[in-house]
């Protein structure tokens, strides 16, 4: 693992270094010269081709994938091989290379260069938590990406914004560096520099729009892959129920007696952690089931209610490569009539659940969340505005009264930085609330009034079943399961080096252990649980100081404010 990781990081570092050198040469020695721009565009294209060529190699290096000869795969999983063989025969493509990641986090993905050199990977979690029909639906979805040649298409789509960004950067830095070296009396290039500024601005705007369009195209490709799954299985509900388990972590299956029997051993193991109430957990688990042992419609509607009605969902949808699960299920529902099957989850009661939890509108909560999240920035903008008013006087229409000296301006900024420090503390108090209470996956996932900013402080108990990114060597996150479902555990300390150390030294060792986790349940866009403290059954305790780390910026603001107060007292 060490050699693979080191070689991957070394290659990435060297390529970044080469790009920086070439970029500097193109800007510094060829300012305003179109030849320099062509060099940078050409080099950007080379980087894209390099990523396209090396991407599959990096994936094989960075993921623990057990590659299985297709004959063995077909013998072990004939229902999946049937789907693969059917697509290979119809589309006349080569059989994808099949791999399995031995991790209970249910994930699946494909990668490769073309549809004739594809790899299809699933995890043990797909085989463990999903029934045979759901497994076929997931594999059919991934096969959809292969037959649609999404590897090439998305490489081209995402390349266009990168080229626009290169043009914008080249224009900006050409103006910046060239303006430093040209004579003050030289006005010959004024129009050229003005044109370059316009090009930089237009290119940046075009890059941003192009990036959003690229994400939109990516979401469309996911819908097409979903459609391919529905066509191959001839039942869109198979993928819908798989999405409920994978995206929302709602797992209740089997009869009540089977579930109780299955959980006896895990209940005994978790009692020793201190807060687990097996009777309550069993009762909650039963509420997630319908009469046939499947996940109840109400539980799914409540989980999907966040995707459908929370304003944060619309925000995340814009910047996501995948559609929200509820949107995908709704699209799949539209195809049910084509195959003559009833809709499994129609979300008809989702709005009533939302209104019961939070009322008819969630705009107030969303605005409050944004205000809290951006509070220090809002204070800073107000300071800039007051300073502008002081300097320019709004063309004489407004007078500031006491702000007539530099001393008072220093005092304004001193007070402003102190207020920003308290703003950081207020934001941290809101985002990292106290009052941790015992909870479980299904109760958390069915809570609609939650966001990345507005958490539910909780304590959950269960088992770590896998890594947050299944099979990824340096994934610091984890996958958790209790008696009601699965949950993504977000370690996120706040420093990349700490996250990297945790991934290598701690995360793997926690897989398979019974744990109690104290932290904050959030959603954005998927459900996740941010760690404060992890206790293992062996008595070990792991803290995460991400909350405390946020106070560093508050301390910095206070120190700057104190320094400005010192200047103010000294000058006065």
Q: How far is CA 325 from CA 99, 226, 349, 445, 492, in A?
A: 25, 11, 17, 13, 24
Q: Looking at residue 516, what DSSP letter applies?
A: E
Q: How far is CA 478 from CA 107, 169, 400, 515, in A?
A: 13, 38, 55, 12
Q: Please tell me whether residue 96 adopts helix, strand or coil conformation.
A: coil
Q: How far is CA 320 from CA 217, 218, 304, 324, 524, in A?
A: 11, 9, 17, 8, 11
CA angle 71, 77, 83 (to 5 degrees): 90
Q: Please tell me whether residue 131 adopts helix, strand or coil conformation.
A: coil
Residue 471, both tokens: 């099979």
Give the phi and the psi of residue 188 in degrees, each rounded to 5: -65, -35
Q: Which of 142, 222, 365, 461 is catalytic?
A: 142
List CB contacts of 132: < 8 A, sequence separation 6 or more: 79
Task: Decide if 461 is catalytic.
Answer: no
Hey, how many other C-beta atoms are within 10 angstroms of the C-beta on 382? 13
Question: CA-CA distance, 225 to 142, in Å (whole number)?
Answer: 7
Question: CA-CA distance, 499 to 492, in Å (whole number)?
Answer: 6
Active site residues: 142
């Amino acid at each position: 693992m060490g050699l693979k990781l080191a070689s991957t990081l070394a290659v990435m570092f060297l390529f970044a270094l080469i790009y920086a050198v070439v970029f500097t040469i193109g800007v510094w020695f060829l300012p305003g010269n179109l030849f320099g721009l062509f060099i940078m565009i050409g080099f950007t294209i080379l980087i894209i081709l390099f990523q396209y060529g090396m991407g599959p190699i990096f994936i094989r290096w960075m993921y623990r994938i057990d590659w299985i000869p297709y004959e063995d795969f077909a013998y072990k999983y004939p229902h999946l091989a049937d789907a693969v063989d059917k697509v290979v025969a119809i589309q006349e493509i080569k059989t994808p290379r099949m791999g399995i990641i031995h991790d209970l986090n249910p994930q699946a993905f494909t990668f490769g260069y073309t549809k004739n050199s594809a790899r299809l990977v699933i995890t043990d979690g797909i085989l463990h938590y999903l029934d045979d029909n759901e497994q076929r639906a997931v594999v059919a979805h991934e096969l959809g990406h292969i037959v649609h040649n999404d590897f090439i298409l998305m490489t081209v789509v995402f390349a266009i914004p990168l080229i626009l960004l290169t043009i914008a950067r080249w224009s900006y830095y050409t103006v910046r560096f060239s303006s430093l070296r040209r004579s003050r009396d030289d006005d010959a290039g004024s129009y050229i520099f003005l044109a370059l500024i316009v090009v930089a601005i237009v290119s940046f705007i075009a890059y941003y729009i192009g990036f959003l369009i690229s994400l939109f195209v990516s979401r469309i490709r996911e819908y097409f892959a979903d459609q391919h799954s529905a066509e191959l299985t001839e039942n869109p509900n198979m993928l819908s129920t798989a999405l409920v388990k994978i995206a929302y972590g709602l797992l209740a299956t089997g009869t009540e007696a089977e579930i109780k029997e299955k959980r006896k051993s895990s209940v005994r193991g978790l009692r020793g952690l201190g807060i687990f109430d097996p009777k309550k957990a069993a009762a909650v688990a039963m509420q997630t089931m319908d009469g046939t042992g499947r996940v109840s419609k109400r539980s799914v509607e409540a989980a999907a209610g966040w995707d459908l009605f929370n304003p944060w969902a619309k925000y995340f949808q814009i910047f996501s490569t995948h559609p929200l699960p509820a949107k995908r299920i709704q699209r799949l529902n539209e195809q049910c009539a084509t195959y003559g099957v009833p809709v499994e989850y129609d979300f008809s009661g989702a709005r009533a659940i939302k209104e019961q939890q939070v009322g008819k509108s969630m705009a107030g909560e969303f605005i409050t969340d944004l205000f809290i999240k951006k509070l220090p920035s809002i204070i800073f903008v107000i300071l800039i505005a007051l300073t502008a008013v002081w300097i320019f006087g709004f063309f004489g229409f407004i007078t500031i009264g006491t702000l007539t000296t530099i001393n008072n301006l220093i005092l304004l900024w001193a007070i402003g930085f102190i207020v920003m420090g308290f703003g950081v503390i207020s934001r941290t108090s809101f985002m990292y609330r106290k009052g941790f209470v015992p909870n479980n996956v299904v109760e958390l996932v069915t809570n609609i009034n939650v966001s990345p900013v507005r958490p539910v402080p909780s304590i959950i108990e269960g088992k770590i079943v896998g890594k947050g990114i299944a099979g990824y060597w340096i994934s610091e996150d984890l996958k958790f399961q209790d008696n009601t479902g699965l949950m993504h555990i977000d370690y996120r300390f706040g420093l990349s080096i700490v996250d990297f150390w945790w991934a290598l030294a701690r995360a793997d060792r926690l897989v398979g252990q019974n744990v109690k986790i104290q932290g904050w349940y959030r959603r954005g866009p998927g459900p996740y649980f941010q760690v404060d403290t992890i206790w293992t059954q062996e008595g070990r305790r792991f803290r995460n100081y991400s909350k405390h780390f946020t106070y560093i910026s508050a301390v910095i603001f206070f120190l700057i404010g104190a320094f400005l107060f010192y200047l103010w007292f000294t000058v006065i």
